Structure 1
Amino acid sequence: MEIALMASRSYQLAVDIRDQLTIAQAVCNHQLMVDTQDIKAGFVARLNKALDAIPGVRAGRGRNVDLYEGIRNNPQAKASTQATHKWLSGESMPSRGNMLAIAEWLNVRAEWLAYGEGDMRPTPPVADEQTPRASLLEQLHQQNPRHYQTDLYEAAPVEQREAVDDMAEKMLKLSPEQARKLKQAMDLLMPDNGPNKN
């Protein structure tokens, strides 16, 4: 009989931890939510300011068509006149590709156009107007002499030398980031096989 009684009893382990339990609560750091309407309104104001500087862009009705016409041939732009109307009215913001296309067409910085950060216009590279074209090539040659062959340059027809000079001038105006990307592309197209490369 005792065996049956013991088999029917069940035991549960109970632990009272209410006095031991502590909850660490971090101080609330409130961060104000960004009002998207403010961002859109700022974008519209900056877009209109930049559009006002473009000759031939209408001030009122048809402005969205002018904006569309300005960016439609840019490969980054994927827009319609309805989309440009929404951008100008503050109903929506352009995608990144469209923002870059608009900024390029308006000759403004994309960061300024989207968020009002920094200067409106890109900083023009400093060009020394007194430097003759031939010395631009010499500067490039001094920076990396292995990649430029002066004898080929001098033997080339005048038109080709002018084209090389124009390219050299443009290369000197690149930002460090643009120059790095160009170098990577050039290295892929023309790998260096050593100092005796022909």
Structure 2
Amino acid sequence: MGITTEQERAAFSQRLKLALGQAGMQPCTSARLASEFNRVHSGAPVTLHAARKWMIGESIPTQEKLKVLATWLGVSAVWLRYGEEIETVTPKKSLRVDEKTQRDLNEKVSRLNRHHRLIVMGMVDCLLKLQQKQSGA
């Protein structure tokens, strides 16, 4: 007897949680998953509800989103979806931002006056220090 769709979704959920843990994202709430995923995905944003369904095994993301998840988490898309190809890619130390997002951010920051650009730089510095502190580096 073959694996059921319900079993496939539950197994995907377990692999997703494992990959999130290996990427330093534990504990990971649905809100955090949606937020972090949307930072690296250039398509339509994922809702909190969709991320929750992935985490509890109610649904499996589309192939496009699955590929983004796998790249972001440093695992094989085939392994994440089907549990095969245990080989993993070395996880990135920081989230990869796609080129369009980077260009958009650069363009918006460049439109700010000097004072506001300095505020943004200060905020970024604080966030990087916090991230480094949280990752134990």
TM-score, normalised to structure 2, is 0.58
Decide whether the 8 Å contact of 2:23 with 2:74 is kept in 1.
no
Distance, in Å, in 2 between the alignment partners of 1:120 and 1:65 is 28
Residue aligning to 1:66: 32
**Pair 81,104 (structure 1): closer, same or farther in 2 beyond 3 Å:** same
**Pair 49,71 (structure 1): closer, same or farther in 2 beyond 3 Å:** same
Decide whether the 8 Å contact of 2:30 with 2:55 is kept in 1.
yes
Q: Higher helix proportion, which one?
A: 2
State the shift of 1:63 in Å: 1.4
State the shift of 1:41 in Å: 1.2
Of 61, 74, 79, the match for 1:112: 79
Distance, in Å, in 2 between the alignment partners of 1:70 and 1:120 is 24
**Which amino acid letter does the alignment assign opposite residue 81 of structure 1?**
L
Distance, in Å, in 1 between the alignment partners of 2:2 and 2:18 is 27
Residue aligning to 1:53: 22
State the shift of 1:91 in Å: 0.9
Distance, in Å, in 2 between the alignment partners of 1:105 and 1:65 is 17
Distance, in Å, in 2 between the alignment partners of 1:107 and 1:43 is 16
TM-score, normalised to structure 1, is 0.41
Q: Secondary structure at the match of 2:58?
A: coil
Cα RMSD of the aligned pairs, angstroms, is: 2.2
Decide whether the 8 Å contact of 2:10 with 2:58 is kept in 1.
no
Higher relative contact order (CA 8 A, sep 6+): 2
1:91 and 2:58 matched: yes
Q: Secondary structure at the match of 2:84?
A: coil
Gaps of 5+ in 1: 1-31, 124-198
Deviations 1:51-92 (A, max 9, x none): 11223x342xx6112211221031246411110001101111
Aligned residues: 90
Gaps of 5+ in 2: 91-137
**Pair 39,63 (structure 1): closer, same or farther in 2 beyond 3 Å:** same
* 1:119-198 → structure 2 map (5 Å cutoff): 119-122=86-89
Distance, in Å, in 2 between the alignment partners of 1:76 and 1:51 is 21
Distance, in Å, in 1 between the alignment partners of 2:32 and 2:23 is 10
- Counting aligned pairs with the same residue, the percent is 30
**Which amino acid letter does the alignment assign opposite residue 32 of structure 2?**
D
Q: Secondary structure at the match of 1:48?
A: helix
Of 56, 62, 69, the match for 1:102: 69
Q: Secondary structure at the match of 1:122?
A: coil
Q: Secondary structure at the match of 2:70?
A: helix
